[in-house]
Amino acid sequence: MPLPQNINPIDRDTRDLLVRTAQMDWKPIPADPERSFYKLLWTGSESGTWAILGRSFKGAVAPAHKHLGASHTYVISGKIQVRDQIINAGDYIYEANGMVHDETTFLEDTDYIFICQGPQLFFDENGFTGYFGWEQLREMNESQASAKKVTV
């Protein structure tokens, strides 16, 4: 039975994206390059959304920041302190657009999936210290592509 209308994609580039993370190198996250690493899963220029597989060792810290888009985090293994909450392996946390919080601390060696629907604005007591979104992540990922492999 034929469909009542054509449902084929208009964009001929519409396709699945398969990322084989086991074949990717871990790359350092600039805020804590000795203890935090990522594998880029996806960046979406049309929406500003980006996704990483993260690995942070015990004691790693993400500086204070404001979310300029919602974020989703699923903890695969380990433990993270976000504000006054402890996020454990198997937990998921949603942070709304506009959420502001102090440092995020990794209480154990932690693997996680982080999906952010916009950039983050970093700050300290003196003002803004940095801005990080899909463009910076893509640029950083490309510039590190030729760098030495990081084994973690």
Could you tell me the sign of the dihedral formed by the alpha carbons of 130, 100, 81, 112, in that order?
negative
pLDDT of residue 146: 59
Closest CA relative to residue 64, chosen from 124, 130, 105: 124
- The pTM of this model reads 0.86
Q: What is the CATH number of domain 31-141?
A: 2.60.120.10
Q: Please tell me which residue, 55 or 6, carries the higher pLDDT value.
A: 55
pLDDT digits (tens, 9 = 90+) for 27-37: 999 889 999 99
Q: pLDDT-based confidence at 63, cuts 50/70/90?
A: very high
Closest CA relative to residue 117, chosen from 43, 59, 56, 60: 43
